């Protein structure tokens, strides 16, 4: 994956595409000592909105196919294989996935906006890689960990990497001051990072400096604190495919003025089938087509079972949650 990332970036740079590496190798060494120690599903890049068409063209020349566009994220895959086994999770695979995350122009319509205007360059694997500035990297990682907590299944590794990042910066007073001045007025960042730090503190003990907790953990709404107290460990340490208890948190976020993008009703009763794990190939052999259908059927049955079981569980737990709120006078 590192070799593929370097090859893609060399083409991006030759085409003068404004981009930055997201996650992956950019977490080294703040969150992980070596990139190859962390499992990674795809390659992520932040790309200037005006350059996304060129980036897409270069990826398609390398054999990638556009799978989905969701908001500001474009998902591509190449060399897909109709396999889905936990035994193969850490084995080398011929297939790759790339996500492009669009960064909009600035308000005047010229030049890079936001994070792309603050990128730094690191010499890694024989190439100068643009990565996010330290504060942007930390904010992105914290909010991504919170996004995990606000979903059916939370990857424990993401929480552990964020914990290590905080520990790496623990005594860096200048960093925490810059972070607070940048994000203290961002309500979602304050609540999201606060919830993640509060959860990690419950599991691992006190670790975050007051310069971080003062505007995050200390300002958490009581109902969100209570959700973490009641369901946090189960969420952080749970098994795939997870639960629907995050919908209770989603409701409390809405109460706190932080609406979710997807309604609880849509999450409880999906009206659409799961997207294809693998799209049909040109001149597809019969064996591959059968394996692809079987894979999609397995996914469909798995999701149906999840929605039925966890939907029923959620209904029972929602009643207990309302009682819990009354007991705490919230």
Domain ranges of the chain: 1-132, 133-272
Nearest to 246, CA basis, from 194, 254, 197: 254
Return the residue matching tokens 């064996």: 287
Low-confidence ranges of the chain (pLDDT < 70): 84-86, 88-89, 105-113
pLDDT of residue 270: 86
Is there a contact between 21 and 130 (Cβ–Cβ < 8 Å)?
A: yes
Q: CA–CA distance from 288 to each of 65, 81, 87, 284 (Å)?
A: 17, 8, 20, 7
Q: What is the pLDDT of residues 190-230, one digit of tens each?
A: 999 999 999 999 999 999 999 999 999 999 999 999 999 99
* Neighbour-count burial of 54, counting CB atoms closer than 10 A to its CB (0-12 exposed, 13-18 middle, 19+ buried): middle
In this prediction the pTM is 0.91
Helices (H) and strands (E) in the chain, counts: 11, 7
The rounded distance, in Å, linking the Cα atoms of 155 and 116 is: 27
pLDDT of residue 258: 92
Q: Which residues contact 22 (CB under 8 A, 6 or more apart)?
A: 44, 45, 46, 101, 132, 140
The rounded distance, in Å, linking the Cα atoms of 230 and 228 is: 5
Return the residue matching tokens 């340490």: 237
pLDDT of residue 282: 84
pLDDT of residue 135: 96
pLDDT of residue 323: 96
CATH number assigned to the domain with residue range 1-132, chosen from the 4 options 2.30.30.30, 3.30.460.40, 3.10.580.10, 3.40.50.300: 3.30.460.40
């Amino acid at each position: 994956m590192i070799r593929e990332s370097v090859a893609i970036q060399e083409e991006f740079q030759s085409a003068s595409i404004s981009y930055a590496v997201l996650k992956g190798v950019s977490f080294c060494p703040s969150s992980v000592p070596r990139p190859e120690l962390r499992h990674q599903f795809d390659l992520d890049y932040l790309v200037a909105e005006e350059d996304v068409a060129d980036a897409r063209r270069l990826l398609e020349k390398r054999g990638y196919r556009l799978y989905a566009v969701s908001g500001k994220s474009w998902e591509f895959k190449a060399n897909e294989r109709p396999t889905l086994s936990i035994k193969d999770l850490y084995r080398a695979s011929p297939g790759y996935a790339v996500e492009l995350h669009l960064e909009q122009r600035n308000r005047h319509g010229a030049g890079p906006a936001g994070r792309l205007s603050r990128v730094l360059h690191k010499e890694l694997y024989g190439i100068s890689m643009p990565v996010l500035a330290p504060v942007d990297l930390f904010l992105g990682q914290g909010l991504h960990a919170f996004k995990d907590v606000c979903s059916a299944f939370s990857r424990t590794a993401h929480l552990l990497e964020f914990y290590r990042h905080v520990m790496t910066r623990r005594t860096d007073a200048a960093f925490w001051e810059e972070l607070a001045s940048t994000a203290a007025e961002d309500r979602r960042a304050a609540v999201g990072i606060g919830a993640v730090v509060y959860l990690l503190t419950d599991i691992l003990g006190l670790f975050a400096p007051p310069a971080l907790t003062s505007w995050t953990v200390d300002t958490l709404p009581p109902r969100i604190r209570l959700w973490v107290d009641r369901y946090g460990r189960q969420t952080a340490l749970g098994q795939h495919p997870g639960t629907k208890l995050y919908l209770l948190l989603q409701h409390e976020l809405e109460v706190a003025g932080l609406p979710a993008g997807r309604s609880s009703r849509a999450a409880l009763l999906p009206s659409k089938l799961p997207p294809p794990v693998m799209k049909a190939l040109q001149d597809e052999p019969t064996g591959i087509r059968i394996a692809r259908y079987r894979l999609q059927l397995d996914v469909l049955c798995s999701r149906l079972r999840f929605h039925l079981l966890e939907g029923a569980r959620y209904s029972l737990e929602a009643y207990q949650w309302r009682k819990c709120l009354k007991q705490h006078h919230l």
